[in-house]
Structure 1
Amino acid sequence: MDNEEPIWKRFEDLVRRILEENQFQIEKYSPRGDEGFDFFGRFVNENWAIEVKYYRTARPRLSLIEAAAARVVFNGVSRQVEKGMLVTSSLLTPEARSSLEVKYKILFVDRADLRLLASSRSDLLDELEALLELDPELSEDQKPVRLNLEDSRNNIGDSSIPVIDTKGTELCEKLRSIKVGKGGWAQYEIICVEILQYLFPNDLRGWHKQKSTDGGVNRYDFVCRVSSATEFWRFLVENLNSRYVIFEFKNYSEKIKQGQVLTTEKYLLERGLRKVAIILSRLGPDKNAIGMMQGAMREHGKLILSVDDELVCKMLQMKERGEDPTDLLFELTDDFLLSLPR
């Protein structure tokens, strides 16, 4: 298999093979849930709607798990399947699992359950442990409490049909409708803040607006304090020594240029634990701006990320599907650092 494939795709393919090893017949496969769920399978003469979620964090927010479960139920009922399953790379506590299964009437399979399902094939188990970086010695919270696919008594139709989150789609449409340029600046700032607070409700605190610098001459849009322990935000705090993140909003009709990046870099202060900035713009950076971002990282250890409308809407779609939008920021950062020139 091509190891250059996205890790979520490799995880989905591995889950498919593990399920097939456990007598599932996978009849339909829809990457990224384009048909409402990833797999349409049969097991013991019953149809299953199966959704697979990869998270970089071992214990993602429960709200993301719930959003994914709601989509399994909603789309599974519409496809008239008997059973539903949500497979996740994370760990679920017994209390969370019990509560989720009562509410959504589907089977939840976490990383500990996957180890059990893969245990009959050493190659699948080795691949799972390598992909999720699991310790071969199970800790207590990684030991499956119980998992019996044949004894799954929950029927997806017994659940009340949940309300599906559509706020991400609505915010994306609002963003795209805003006029580019000076005339839409105020609206653009308002919608950007609303988007960020929807995407990262528990990750950022403070939201201090437009603090003056240099005697009030220059201003940045927002500064937030990182309060999350998920993979991306922990990376910023522990590896870049940045407890605070600056956000800037550029409603320009052209790509941002190196001058705007240079101005942003001046707001980043090592001793102020403020070494990361994220610039939201309509079209992203031009070639010279990218070079300036690379120089800021290479020479001063300051990380400046650029997120355009397409990436913003992609994160909004991820949040709706119950995926962690910070995983996309992690991938952007990873790609940026891997490609950093000398």
Structure 2
Amino acid sequence: MTLSTNSSGFQFEQLVRRILEANHFDVHEAGLSIGLETGKRAIVVSSSGGVRADANARGQSAGFDFTATMGNEIWAIEVKFYRTARAQVTLLESAAARLAARGIIAGARKGMLVVSCQLSSALRTTLEDRFSITFIDRVDLLNWAARAPELLDELNALLELDSIAIPEASERPTEPTQTSKRLPETSPPEDTKGTELCQELKALKRGKSTWSAYEKLCDRILRYLFPNDLHGWHRQKRTDDGLNRFDYICRIRPTTDFWQFLLHHLDSRYVLFEFKNYADKIKQGQILTTEKYLLERGLRRVAIVLSRAGASTDAIKMTQGAMREHGKLMLVIDDGQIIDMLQMKERGEDPTDRLFELADDFLLALPR
């Protein structure tokens, strides 16, 4: 995924690169060869700042952000920014499996997964033993950034930290080389369910004839994306034209920043999902119908609409009016955004971060 230069994820990745350089890592720039070989595999930095293996690696992409060297060691390094400070184990496992597998293909000796969340000592030990890679969390980064005060200030600002939110910092190793973890000889299995769901969505025909298959696919997609975030999955049947036969009403579990935002700031304990299998963009009439199911006093003020082609300009204006006049938030997610979130989940990133960005952009652009 190509990150926007204004996104927190991109800023975090660039800051991690500078912190590593301040700690004596040689981080390789775009378009430059590392100049080291492992067997028959030459490592080459791609134009996107990542690394690709040569033809002997069977043409597979790097699958991690960049490489670095320290001494004679080649590190495959992946950086993950999460808006939620609490560690989400399933995402960390997916990211670690991908990094270990791709690092082996690229010929790296060690792997490093840098995350913005905080790991407990027990969780860190379990994950490092399982995947044989080094985990670096926000506490480690704070220790490493202390070598350059300007980096420490940037890190605190980006993670929105204060002095009381930095426990255990003095108890962590301060040198990146204080680890003996090496990538395993055989790669662990990677998560491929996101790719499979993407392929199914792309292949599914739009329109009335496939509405049932679409809603069943949406059910599987949502349960894959948000297995721990929602509860209930109550099906709400109603009469319609066959293109949006039913929706889901789920109770929110405030496990991540996005769901906490809906619960605490929008006063919505429940979220409504609707599935629109139209070939074209949905119009304002479909938005008006959805709005009627949102209840201000029923703690149900948020709807997420899955629409194959997104929403028309008039429909978007209708969602803006619902938010401005009644405090009802309706997000319309098209196929491209669903595919993006599925790919994020497969890479070990949090798909709710994308929902947070969509909601944030929507509210920032809300007209008077």
TM-score normalised per structure 2: 0.87
1:171 matched to 2:171: no
The superposition leaves residues 294-335 of structure 1 with CA deviations (integer Å, 9 ceiling, x where unpaired) of: 000000000000000000000000000000000000000000
Using a 3 Å threshold, how does the CA distance of structure 1 residues 78 and 188 change in structure 2: closer, same or farther? Answer: same
Higher RCO structure (Cα 8 Å, ≥6 apart) = 1
CA distance in 2 between counterparts of 1:203 and 1:43 reads 40
The superposition leaves residues 258-293 of structure 1 with CA deviations (integer Å, 9 ceiling, x where unpaired) of: 000000000000111100000001100000000000
Contact 1:199/1:316 (<8 A) preserved: yes
1:162 alignment partner, one of 183, 188, 198? 188
The superposition leaves residues 81-107 of structure 1 with CA deviations (integer Å, 9 ceiling, x where unpaired) of: 111100000000000000011111111
CA distance in 1 between counterparts of 2:23 and 2:341 reads 34
CA distance in 2 between counterparts of 1:327 and 1:18 reads 24
One-letter code aligned to 1:17: R
Tell me which residue corresponds to 1:8: 9
1:35 matched to 2:62: yes
The superposition leaves residues 124-154 of structure 1 with CA deviations (integer Å, 9 ceiling, x where unpaired) of: 0000000001113454355553343223211
**Secondary structure of residue in 2 paired with 1:165:** coil
User: Percent same amino acid among aligned pairs?
Assistant: 55
Contact 1:113/1:144 (<8 A) preserved: no
Higher mean C-alpha displacement, 317-326 vs 28-37: 28-37
**Aligned ranges 1:226-241 → 2 under 5 Å:** 226-241=252-267
Using a 3 Å threshold, how does the CA distance of structure 1 residues 149 and 293 change in structure 2: closer, same or farther? Answer: same
CA distance in 2 between counterparts of 1:4 and 1:171 reads 28
Tell me which residue corresponds to 2:31: none
Deviation, 1:176, is 1.2
Tell me which residue corresponds to 1:21: 22
Contact 1:60/1:230 (<8 A) preserved: no
1:110 alignment partner, one of 137, 152, 170? 137
CA distance in 2 between counterparts of 1:229 and 1:300 reads 26
Tell me which residue corresponds to 1:340: 366
Tell me which residue corresponds to 2:284: 258
CA distance in 2 between counterparts of 1:220 and 1:272 reads 19
Contact 2:139/2:166 (<8 A) preserved: no
TM-score normalised per structure 1: 0.94
CA distance in 2 between counterparts of 1:22 and 1:121 reads 9
The superposition leaves residues 48-75 of structure 1 with CA deviations (integer Å, 9 ceiling, x where unpaired) of: 0000000000013111011111111000
CA distance in 2 between counterparts of 1:208 and 1:182 reads 23
Higher mean C-alpha displacement, 36-45 vs 9-18: 36-45
**Secondary structure of residue in 2 paired with 1:255:** coil
One-letter code aligned to 1:224: C
**Secondary structure of residue in 1 paired with 2:68:** strand
Higher mean C-alpha displacement, 190-199 vs 149-158: 149-158
CA distance in 2 between counterparts of 1:147 and 1:110 reads 12
**Secondary structure of residue in 2 paired with 1:150:** coil
CA distance in 2 between counterparts of 1:10 and 1:31 reads 14
Contact 1:220/1:267 (<8 A) preserved: no
1:62 matched to 2:89: yes
Tell me which residue corresponds to 1:201: 227
Using a 3 Å threshold, how does the CA distance of structure 1 residues 32 and 273 change in structure 2: closer, same or farther? Answer: farther
Structure 1 or 2: larger helix share?
Answer: 1
Deviation, 1:228, is 3.0
1:288 alignment partner, one of 301, 314, 319? 314
1:305 alignment partner, one of 327, 331, 336? 331
Using a 3 Å threshold, how does the CA distance of structure 1 residues 243 and 204 change in structure 2: closer, same or farther? Answer: same
Tell me which residue corresponds to 2:151: 124
1:277 matched to 2:303: yes
Give the CA RMSD over aligned residues: 1.8
CA distance in 1 between counterparts of 2:170 and 2:263 reads 31
Q: What is the aligned length? A: 335
Tell me which residue corresponds to 2:105: 78
